[in-house]
Structure 1
């Protein structure tokens, strides 16, 4: 089996060449309506095809939210498969936002669904939840290493409910979120130019100076745009790790659709603003 160059190396190059930006593919009902599309499989397909056409040959990362496709059953998943295939063929890295988390053979099956090279949903990386214990992710970690893919582990998420788990203090005095970051730093030791095991860290969380964010891996950062954070906030929130931040923008770009040129222009503006913001870090 031909093994891909590591996800971390491919991501670093894509961010340097195309700009540090991840655009979500989030076809929720209200956005379909804003685009003048029906909330059905035909609308889903039109939306996804337009986003891929507009973005896949120029942004570093596209991140489809699996749930918005799964809600239409097998026909929706078929649209997702096609979107992933076409996005990767056009040069974008695809991060599947599925937030899978389980144990043993079930975790292995989730990983195979998205990280096995002959899977119809094969993606460059997968979001996963570690809250059955970080060790529960071992099958996904192993397959990611084998296939040259990556993981983004929920660590410090932007939703307010996340704090009751992620900021909880363990017996050793460290928060649960900090523990997840430490695990990821250990996965990425010695990897160049960037490790393949990243964390999800919200850009809206404010001062994170008490956390060791420099894990030698990417930091997928939701919250830029419609949720209130701006590219200028990235150095303040992420400090020395700002260059490894992959800002995730969804509504801030997608609201400019369905016009392809307007979508491209919005994405270009965000990417350039991020590039300028982190240039001095």
Structure 2
């Protein structure tokens, strides 16, 4: 094989061996307080290191939310850099949840920040927004292919406000969300065992059978736990594509902190529930 192993292949292996669970690292102020930590860099570092210690050696994916680190400035970003490196060293794939989206050289710079191997924030994949036009993501797509990383493109998100854009119908009769899924299917064509270009599709959206979710790529699915969806809901929402779903659980695991064993047990419970639901399809 020439070049680095693609993200999709690495993700498929991690899901098959560790279970298809993504745990978010979301150190917002209220959660730091619940953990008995101060809303400062020391609290941020303690929180992030505890999550990494608890689950990075056993879950398929960790997803730090960049904004909760960036709000502390350069010292917060330094904590994020360390967390990403430590999580990857423990065997977890890291999806940087930064939802970047821009055009031209600016989009290229965002991609280099997270997907270039020489970057201090080098991650396995990055969440991106396509709503300046899917083509605006071209620099990120090109770098992901080169570096063996991946993208998760916002397509059908779980927030209610997303519908006004994502469900809008284009002149060709397709919704914007369906159009994004079509672009991703084209990116992943012919890739085995799984393409590297995924979609963000909310687990709380109910029956999505009117959408073609078979994009030959992963579907990052927020909404399990605190937002109300359960692992048992996944087959009804995603249908035959459920095997490629990476359910994200943040609050449902993180509320068990700051005890490493409790965090680990919560993650393993969610992972087993998801395995059971997917195996039933």
Distance 1:234 1:191 in 2: 24
Aligned to 2:198, what secondary structure does the other structure show? strand
In structure 1, stretches of 5+ residues that fail to align are none
Distance 1:6 1:225 in 2: 30
Distance 2:258 2:280 in 1: 35
Deviations 1:21-52 (A, max 9, x none): 00000000000000000000000000000000
Aligned to 1:223, what secondary structure does the other structure show? coil
Distance 1:13 1:45 in 2: 30
- Cα distance, 1:267 vs. partner? 0.3
Deviations 1:157-188 (A, max 9, x none): 00000000000000000000000000000000
Distance 1:16 1:254 in 2: 24
Aligned to 2:77, what secondary structure does the other structure show? helix
TM-score, normalisation: structure 1: 0.98
Distance 1:280 1:204 in 2: 20
Deviations 1:164-223 (A, max 9, x none): 000000000000000000000000000000000000000000010000001000000000
Distance 1:240 1:171 in 2: 29
Structure 2 residue aligned with 1:107: 107
Deviations 1:99-129 (A, max 9, x none): 0000000000000000000100000000000
Aligned to 1:38, what secondary structure does the other structure show? coil
Deviations 1:72-108 (A, max 9, x none): 0000000000000000000000000000000000000
- Cα distance, 1:280 vs. partner? 2.7
In structure 2, stretches of 5+ residues that fail to align are none
Distance 1:94 1:185 in 2: 22
Distance 1:69 1:62 in 2: 15
TM-score, normalisation: structure 2: 0.98
Distance 2:231 2:269 in 1: 10
Distance 1:17 1:267 in 2: 15
Aligned to 2:236, what secondary structure does the other structure show? helix
- Cα distance, 1:254 vs. partner? 0.3
Trace 1:180-259 onto structure 2 (pairs within 5 A): 180-259=180-259
Distance 1:171 1:81 in 2: 44
Distance 1:14 1:207 in 2: 27
Distance 2:20 2:260 in 1: 20
- Cα distance, 1:227 vs. partner? 0.3
Aligned to 1:227, what secondary structure does the other structure show? coil
- Cα distance, 1:144 vs. partner? 0.1
Aligned to 1:137, what secondary structure does the other structure show? helix
Query: RMSD between aligned alpha carbons?
Result: 0.3
Aligned to 2:233, what secondary structure does the other structure show? helix
**How many residue pairs are counted as aligned between the two chains?**
277
Aligned to 1:62, what secondary structure does the other structure show? strand
Structure 2 residue aligned with 1:44: 44
Moved over 2 A (4+): none
